[in-house]
Amino acid sequence: MKNKALFHIAIGVLISFGIAILRPQAVDSLLQSRWLGETMLSRYTDGSERENRIPEPIDLASLFPDIVIRRWNPETRKIALTFDDGPDDIYTPKILDILAEYNVRATFFLIGNSAEKYQNVVKRIWEEGHEIGNHTYHHSNLSKMMPWQILLDLKKARQVFADITGEDVLVVRPPYGALNPPAVEAIGNEGYNVFLWTVDSLDWWGLSKEEVIENVIPRVERGVIILHHSSGGPGEDLTGTINALPEIIETLQSQGYSFNTASEILEEIRMENEAKKLVYEGTLTTMKN
């Protein structure tokens, strides 16, 4: 009987390990406490952009127009420069130097644990008039996480940014652009907006200056959001972005483009929606009369 009981215990242990490996979310659902939950989050860090970028299977901006922003519709030539994966002490300061030289403001989507390491760089970003977005704490693949895990990760990063700058951060960009409808709903219900992009410089491939420029300039039109990176993963070289950025800015400025940040874009979208609502209500009133 004793051997039979030990056999059953061993089988149970093996099954539990199998579930933990194959279905980690099922285990995490039992660990809803903040401390236990945080210990699990780092597992969803999938590594470099090159290895994990996944084409978006559905148009989330169309499904969730009040939450997800991919571009906007300004009346004049306005665009947005955004930078992911920072901060660091190699590329991010060089990008800040270039933006200061051309008096351009951008939005930096920062990783929480990197922000903790390079707090002076985060302060510089904020003090020089740029905006900070939440790129998760661990550079997590949100499409693989349960809603409560997503919110826990974003909250952890949000607190880091608030501690450094004194300001709240309510714009999110998912690493790899990886999201699914449940993730969007969870994020939106917490009052966040999701900022995706329209034009990808593909600088995370370690491209040359000329290649980065070619991926950006021909694709620019009013209302686009341009994606660059201000830090790279192991072995990733962003020299192409550093060398291309001055020419990109000069070219676009010469074409009459100005540069907006995330909060400015959200405000323009809000005002546009209010104007549409007023027109709609006015039309209804006219029809009733």
Catalytic residue among 130, 135, 138, 229: 229
The answer to whether 229 is a known catalytic residue is yes
Beta bridge partners of 133: 109
Locate the DSSP E strands across the chain.
Answer: 68-69, 78-86, 107-110, 131-134, 171-172, 193-195, 199-200, 225-229, 258-259
Which residues, 6 or more positions from 260, have their beta carbon under 8 angstroms from its beta carbon? 74, 78, 79, 80, 105, 268
Which residues, 6 or more positions from 286, have their beta carbon under 8 angstroms from its beta carbon? none
Residue ranges making up the domain that contains 208 = 41-274
CATH assignment of the domain containing 240: 3.20.20.370
Q: Which of 115, 141, 137, 112 is nearest to 45 (CA)?
A: 141
Is residue 281 situated within a structural domain? no
Count of structural domains within the chain = 1
Is residue 133 situated within a structural domain? yes
Catalytic residue among 28, 84, 85, 153: 84
- Going residue by residue through the chain (289 aa), what tens digit of pLDDT does each one get? 556 555 555 565 565 555 545 555 555 555 555 555 565 566 667 666 666 666 665 789 999 999 999 999 999 999 999 999 999 999 999 999 999 999 999 999 999 999 999 999 999 999 999 999 999 999 999 999 999 999 999 999 999 999 999 999 999 999 999 999 999 999 999 999 999 999 999 999 999 999 999 999 999 999 999 999 999 877 789 999 999 999 999 999 999 999 999 999 999 999 988 887 676 556 656 666 5
Is residue 289 situated within a structural domain? no
For 219, which DSSP code?
A: G
pLDDT value of residue 118 = 98
Is residue 142 situated within a structural domain? yes
Is residue 10 situated within a structural domain? no
Is residue 252 situated within a structural domain? yes
User: What's the pTM value of the predicted model, to 2 decimals?
Assistant: 0.84
